[in-house]
Amino acid sequence: MTLHIDDNLEQRPDGTVVCRHCGTAIGIAADPLRDARVRESEPEEAGPSVRAESRHFTDRQVILRQSICPQCLTLLQAEIVPGDELSFRTRSLAVRS
């Protein structure tokens, strides 16, 4: 049975996570966005609602990190995070024992 994760991702019966738009394998249940492309840019590129400069709040560089399907370029996840850290958002569809 195929599991509908969200509007952009689904998990196939073998555990492979694929883009719902083009069928490209993106990851596995334990790491759904493993093979997604990552684009990093200035936070202001997220849109007009991001107006404050990060230097007013932190000494660290802050970036917009976007995870994108490598085939059809559908945006799968976006976050504004410190540039020197890994993603704060994690997903796992694996069953924990």
Interatomic CA distance for residues 9 and 20, integer angstroms: 5
pTM reported for the whole predicted model: 0.78
Residue 95 lies in a domain: no
Q: Which domain holds residue 43?
A: 3-82
Task: Compute how many other C-beta atoms are within 10 angstroms of the C-beta atom of residue 94.
Answer: 12
Residue 89 lies in a domain: no
The angle at the Cα of 69, spanning 65 to 71, to the nearest 5 degrees, equals 140
SS3 label, residue 55 = helix
Residue 93 lies in a domain: no
Which parts of the chain sit beneath pLDDT 50? none
Interatomic CA distance for residues 73 and 69, integer angstroms: 5
Q: How many structural domains are present in the chain? A: 1
Interatomic CA distance for residues 87 and 68, integer angstroms: 14
